[in-house]
Amino acid sequence: MSQQIGSAVLDLDLGTLRRDGEIVPVRPKTFELLAFLIRNSGRVLSKDELLRAVWPDTMVTEDSLTQCIRDARKSIGDEA
């Protein structure tokens, strides 16, 4: 399953992200976050929900989530 995000395409089956036709290297947790957001599009997600989804067996701080979101936005070309 592929999902368009702006000029990027996230392929959940292949585990790849392409932007403008080129593969964009992303960290595994960044990919997990993007995939979770796509699977839950149209829903408002809490920080706790995101933390549990991306780091299910690990205790991390909100700073980890903030950095992961920053990386995800950069990887899809959203620099705002």
Q: Please give the pLDDT value at position 80.
A: 57
Q: Please give the pLDDT value at position 70.
A: 96
- For tokens 């585990």, name the residue: 15
Return the bridge partners of 16, or none.
Answer: 11
Q: Are 51 and 60 in contact (CB under 8 A)?
A: yes
Domains observed in the chain? 2-75 (1.10.10.10)
DSSP the chain: -EEEETTEEEETTTTEEEETTEE----HHHHHHHHHHHHTTTS---HHHHHHHHSTTS---HHHHHHHHHHHHHHTT---
Q: Please give the pLDDT value at position 26.
A: 95
pLDDT by residue, tens only, the chain of 80 residues: 888 988 899 999 999 999 988 999 999 999 999 999 999 999 999 999 999 999 999 999 999 999 999 999 999 998 75
Q: Please give the pLDDT value at position 32.
A: 97
